Amino acid sequence: MDESRWTYLDAAATAVAREAMENPGMPIPVDPDVAEHMGAFADNAMSEEDALESQMGVENGVATGEE
């Protein structure tokens, strides 16, 4: 991301935060890119590697005791 885009997103996020503080409980429309910049869409999904690793020692849903 170039610096001007980051600067825009940071300024927009600051404006959204200020608006939310000044109007608690009031819905504030936020552009999806700004919301993502603010951390609204954190990806907590398991990686493919973690998924495969979690299946080691499991056969038909039953632990085999093997690693």
pLDDT at 53 over 90: no
Q: Which residues contact 3 (CB under 8 A, 6 or more apart)?
A: none
State the pTM of this model: 0.60
Average pLDDT score, the chain? 87
Average pLDDT (31-55) is 86
Confidence at residue 26, expressed as pLDDT on a 0 to 100 scale: 96
Residue-wise pLDDT tens digits, 6-34: 999 999 999 999 999 999 999 999 999 99
Euclidean distance between CA atoms 1 and 7, whole angstroms = 10
Confidence at residue 61, expressed as pLDDT on a 0 to 100 scale: 65
